[in-house]
A and B are shown apart, each in its own frame.
Chain A
Amino acid sequence: MAKPKSKNLILASTTFERVVHWVLALSCLFLFLTGFGLMFHSLSFVARFFPGGYATMKLLHNIDGIIFGIAFLFALIAWGKDTLYFDEDDKKWFRVLGGYLWEVEKVPECGKFNAGQKTFFIVLFLFWFIMVGTGIFMWFPIFPPALTRWLYVLHVFGVLVLGTFLVIHFYLGTYGNPGTFQVMGHGYVTKAWAKLHRPKWLRDVEAGRRSI
C-alpha cells in the first residue's frame, strides 16, 4: 500500500511479513479443514467438496502440510529474531498476563511483540516441528507399526494445542484488539495503537534505531 498521508499512521509490518502470515494462515486453515474431514466421520461432507473425495482430500492435506512446513521457515526468518527470547519486561508481563485477564495499573512495556505473542510463536515453532515430523512419517511410514501408531497420538495432540491457539490468536488479532488486524492487512496502524501495543518498538522506530 502506498504510504498514507495521515501522520497518525505508521507501518507495522513489512510486505514480506504480511505475505508470509497469509500463506501460513491460509495453509493452516486448509489443513484444519481437511484434517477435521479425516478426523471426524460426522464431517464426511467436507470430502464431497473435492473431486475424488477422501483420497483427494488426504493428498491435498499432505501437500498443504509441505506448504505450511516451508512457509514456517520464512516465518522464522521474519519473526524469529523478535520472538525467540525473553527479557526482564517479558517476565513482568507474564506476572500480569498483559492486563488481559484482570485490571492492571500499568502493563509492562514491550517491543515489537509482547511475551504472550512470543510464547505463541515458540509453541507454534515446537508444534510445527511435531506436526510436520509426525505428518511425514504418517504419509511415508518407514517405522514399524508399534512406533508409527504413536505418531497419530502426537498429531492429534497438535490439533488440540494448535486449534485452541488458533481461536485465541484470531480473537486477539481481530475484535479483541481493535486496529490490530491491519498489521496483517495493509500494514499500517495508528500511532495510538503502536503506543498501546508496541511502546518500545515505537520509540525505536521514531528514533531511527530500527526500521520495522
Chain B
Amino acid sequence: MTEKVMLVDVSKCTACRACQVACKQWNKLPAEKTQQHGTHQNPPDLSWATWNLIRFTEIPLKEGGVKWLFRRDACLHCTDPGCQRACPVPGCIVKTPEGAVVINSELCIGCKMCVNSCPFEIPRINPEDNKAYKCTFCWDRISHGLIPACAKACGPGAITFGDKDVMIARAYARAKALGGDATVYGDKYVKGTHVIYVLPEKVRMYERMVVNPSIPISLILWKDILKPLSVLAIGAALVGTFFHYVIKGPKRPEEGGE
C-alpha cells in the first residue's frame, strides 16, 4: 500500500460543508447542539463528535466589505505524530501504511496526553466515555481502495485524495498557478503531514492555522531526554549503592548491639 495524501485546496472551497456532513454520516457521529457566535462557522469548534470543520475567517478590506477565508480543519495525519509519541497505551494510536494516524478508542484510557501533545490541538475527549476521538483519515475506506468520505462529498474539488508524490506535485503546481502569497502547507512539518493545504493567503491569516508547527519541545524533553535519563539515574543509584557497600562498606555500630 502506498502512502496517500489528501490535498485541501482552500482556494476552491465554497464552504458548502458537504465534507462536514459526509464525515458525520460515514463515521456515525451525532449532531451537536450549537450556538450562534457571529459567524457561519458551525459548530464553533472541533469536538469528539465533529472531526471535520470548515472554519470561516472574515478579513475586513480597506475598500469596505470583507474577504472570506474558508478552511477545512481536521487531523493532518503527521508522519511523526505527537499524539502517538505521548500515548501510554501500546497500540492505542497507530499509523497505517497509507499514512493515517488512528486512535483506537477502545484502548483509550482517557489520560488526555494526546490532546495536550498534538501540535494542532486536534484530539478531543468525549466527556461521556472519557475517550479521545479524531479524524481517522477514513482508514476503513482507504484501506479498501475508496477515498475518504469528505473528499468523496466535496463538490468543487477542493478536497482531493491520491498517491503522496502525485498530490504534493499537484499542490506545488497549484500554488505556483495561484501566485501571490499562495503556499503549500504540510509537507515540510512533522516529517510531512498526510493532509496538505494550498493556501492562497499567508498561513497566519487562517483561524487556528499553526505557523511552523513542530513536535512540542516539552514532548522531546519528556519522552526523549528525561525518560531515558531517569532510567540512567535510577540505574546509576543501584550500581552506586552496590559498590558503596563493596568498597566503603556498611556503617556498623560498635560491638555490644544486636
- Name A residues whose Cβ lies closer than 8 Å to a Cβ of B: 8, 38-39, 41, 44, 54-55, 58, 99-101, 138, 141, 145-146, 148-150, 152-153, 156-157, 159-160, 163-164, 167-168, 171, 175-179, 190-193, 195-197
Residues of B within 8 A of A8 (CB): 256-258
Given the complex, which residues of B lie within 8 Å of A138, measured CB to CB? Answer: 111-113
Contact at B218–A153, with CB atoms within 8 Å? Answer: yes
Chain B 81-113, CB-CB to A under 8 Å as 1, else 0, gives 000001011100000000000000001011111
Whether the Cβ atoms of B237 and A149 lie closer than 8 Å is no
Decide if B226 is an interface residue (CB 8 Å cutoff): yes
**Which B residues touch A156, using CB under 8 A?**
222, 226-227, 230
With a CB–CB cut-off of 8 A, which chain A residues contact B233?
160, 163-164
Query: Which residues of A sit under 8 angstroms from B169, Cβ to Cβ?
Result: none
**Cβ of B42 < 8 Å from any Cβ of A?**
no
Residue in chain B with minimal CB distance to A47: B89
Q: Which A residues are in CB contact (< 8 Å) with B252?
A: 178-179
Q: Which of B208-258 contact A (CB under 8 A)?
A: 216, 218-219, 221-222, 226-227, 229-230, 233-234, 236-238, 240-241, 244-245, 248, 250-258
Contact B230 A100 (CB under 8 A): no
Q: How far is the CB of B62 from chain A (nearest CB, A)?
A: 33
For the complex, what is the distance from the CA of A197 to the CA of B251, rounded to whole Å? 9
**How many interface contacts (CB-CB < 8 Å) are there between A and B?**
123
- Stretch touching chain A among B65-73, B114-122, B155-163: B114-122
Distance (Å) between the CB of A22 and the closest chain B CB? Answer: 21
**CB-nearest residue of chain B to A52:** B109
- What is the CA–CA distance of A36 and B130 in the complex, to the nearest angstrom? 22
Among B227, B234, B244, B254, the most chain A Cβ lie within 10 Å of the Cβ of B234
- In the complex, what distance in Å separates the CA atom of A92 from the CA atom of B154? 77
Contact of A177 with B251 in the complex, beta carbons under 8 Å: yes
CB <8 Å contact, A159 and B110? no
B interface residues, how many (CB within 8 angstroms): 43
Q: Report the Cα distance A101→B254, complex, angstroms.
A: 19
What is the CA–CA distance of A163 and B238 in the complex, to the nearest angstrom?
10
Q: Are A196 and B88 in contact (CB under 8 A)?
A: no
Inter-subunit contact A168/B117 (CB<8 Å): no
Give the most central of A145, A150, A171, A193: most B CB within 10 Å.
A145
Q: Is the CB of B230 within 8 A of A149?
A: no
Kindly state the separation between the CA atoms of A178 and B248 in the bound complex, as whole angstroms.
14
What is the bound-complex CA distance between A24 and B160, given in angstroms?
58
Cβ B250 vs Cβ A178 within 8 A: yes
* Cα–Cα, bound, A153→B110 (Å): 19
The answer to whether A196 and B113 have CB atoms under 8 Å apart is: no
> Measured between alpha carbons, how far is A100 from B244 in the docked complex, in Å?
9
- A44 contacts across to B, CB distance below 8 A: 90
Partner of B230, one of A54, A101, A159: A159
